[in-house]
């Protein structure tokens, strides 16, 4: 089926959930020329969302437990945008349907073990049908994946070669992670309790790369001091996800950053002794939390008391006053360097994520299949500069060269 024969440019699957509703609201307010629809398993909830956001769009029934309804939805869209997670529980039928029908797909997945399994099962089918399957189109991992891409483009312009070493440092972040991110983490931990291969995969920075180089990567697990920045840094909770996507982007782009490329992602904790104390404290907290989360009773308590209930999330004020700021430093062995910053104007987990995935869906729909053929992709490798331009124009992100 050609794209011209599809009924909709985008179908938002999961539009009655909290993040899905934000996506629908964003599309209704900012992209009135786009043919889109809402889909999910509860028509009454979808109708309520449609009325609340004053959207004049179709509603489709689709349920992850009903493969026929998922495939019927996929056949009607150029792109399916899904916020229905955890993806390791609900996502595979839609990936399979899109790979079969040549339908482009974007999600918010931060579940590397599931992503690795999907690459193994559906990359060949997506290549055959022309479907572009793009995982991790929210805070994990667009600012990080595209931030490294942006810095390396500047390095090539300035020095004629990519930086062999890049450090990512989260300088500021106001607003928490989404309930979906926490639910995905818990689902991954539970999968690890059942399958001993999952923890090893989570530790492997090349887990999404089929032909990894024999190169030791920094693990970002201890407090470090960056003399050139005058700052201490500590582990960043999203690094295990983002690092894998950055390395997959490098591989998908024919090792555009080099096979000797190393990437380290951490959170800045400040300068001086106060920064050192915060960094050491963060390391201790991270290790303690990892230990606690290994126990099933702890995970059960988190599910009961810490996760937002369906349809719940931060207030509009909290979303609109959130922000984030990430620094990227690219280094050469001879001392040359380049720095870039990426900022977002909303909270990372909801306000910014809902805009990023919307623009990613719209962007992949505009990119010719001769430029980005079918297969399982990362945001930077699939869309690169075109996505960065859209994010800056539409989604409140800024990519800047700082030195």
Domains of the chain, by residue range, sit at: 3-139+351-401, 142-347
Cis ω on the peptide bond leading into residue 141 (within 30° of 0)? yes
pLDDT of residue 341: 98
SS (H, E, C) 224-255: EEECCCCEEEEECCCHHHHHHHHHHHHHHCCC
CA dist 243 and 247 (Å) reads 6
pLDDT of residue 202: 86
Which tokens in the block code for residue 209? 């790369």
pLDDT of residue 2: 58
CA dist 89 and 92 (Å) reads 8
Is the CATH number of domain 3-139+351-401 3.30.420.40? no
154 with 341: CB under 8 angstroms? Answer: no
Of residues 100, 106, 147, the one with CA closest to residue 127 = 100
13 with 40: CB under 8 angstroms? Answer: yes
Give the DSSP H/E element, type plus range, for residue 139.
none
pLDDT of residue 294: 55
Class of the CATH domain delimited by 142-347: alpha beta
- Digit-by-digit pLDDT tens for the chain (403 residues) are 556 689 999 999 999 999 999 999 999 999 999 999 999 999 999 999 999 999 999 999 999 999 999 999 999 999 999 999 899 999 999 999 999 999 999 999 999 999 999 999 999 999 999 999 999 999 999 999 999 999 999 999 999 999 999 999 999 999 865 666 667 777 777 777 788 888 888 899 999 999 999 999 999 889 999 999 999 999 998 999 999 999 999 999 999 999 999 999 999 999 999 999 999 998 887 776 665 445 565 445 555 555 565 567 888 999 999 999 999 999 999 999 999 999 999 999 999 999 999 999 999 999 999 999 999 999 999 999 999 999 999 999 999 999 9
């Amino acid at each position: 089926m050609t794209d011209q024969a599809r009924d909709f440019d985008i179908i938002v699957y999961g539009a009655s959930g909290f993040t899905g509703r934000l996506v629908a609201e964003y599309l209704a307010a900012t992209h009135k020329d786009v043919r889109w629809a809402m889909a999910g398993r509860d028509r009454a909830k979808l109708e309520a969302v449609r009325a609340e956001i004053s959207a004049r769009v179709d509603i489709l029934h689709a349920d992850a437990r009903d493969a026929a309804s998922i495939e019927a939805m996929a056949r009607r869209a150029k792109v399916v945008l899904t916020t229905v997670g955890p993806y390791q529980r609900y996502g595979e039928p839609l990936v399979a349907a899109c790979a079969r029908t040549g339908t482009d797909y974007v999600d918010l997945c931060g579940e590397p073990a599931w992503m690795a399994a999907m690459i193994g099962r559906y990359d060949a089918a997506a290549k055959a049908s022309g479907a572009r399957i793009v995982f991790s189109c929210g805070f994990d991992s667009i600012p990080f994946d595209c931030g490294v891409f942006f810095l390396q483009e500047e390095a090539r312009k300035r020095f004629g070669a990519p930086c062999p070493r890049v450090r990512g440092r989260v300088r500021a972040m106001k607003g928490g992670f989404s309930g979906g991110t926490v639910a995905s983490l818990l689902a991954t931990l539970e999968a690890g309790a059942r399958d001993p291969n999952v923890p090893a995969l989570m530790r492997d920075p090349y887990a999404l790369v089929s032909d990894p180089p024999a190169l030791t990567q920094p693990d970002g697990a201890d407090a470090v001091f960056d003399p050139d920045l005058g700052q201490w840094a500590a582990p960043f909770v999203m690094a295990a996800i983002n690092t894998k996507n950055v390395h997959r982007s490098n591989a998908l782009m024919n090792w555009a950053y080099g096979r000797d490329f190393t990437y380290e992602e951490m959170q800045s904790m400040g300068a001086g002794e106060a920064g050192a104390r915060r960094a050491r404290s963060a390391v201790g907290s991270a290790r303690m939390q990892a230990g606690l989360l290994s126990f099933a009773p702890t995970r059960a308590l988190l599910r009961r008391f810490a996760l937002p209930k369906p349809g719940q999330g931060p207030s509009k004020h909290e979303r609109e006053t959130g922000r984030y700021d990430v620094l990227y430093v690219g280094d050469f062995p001879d001392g040359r360097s380049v720095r870039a910053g990426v900022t977002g104007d909303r909270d990372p987990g909801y306000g910014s994520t809902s805009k990023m995935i919307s623009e990613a869906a719209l962007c992949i729909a505009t990119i010719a299949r001769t430029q980005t053929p079918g297969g399982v992709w990362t945001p930077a490798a699939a869309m690169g500069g075109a996505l960065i331009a859209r994010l800056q124009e539409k989604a409140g992100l800024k990519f800047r060269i700082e030195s």
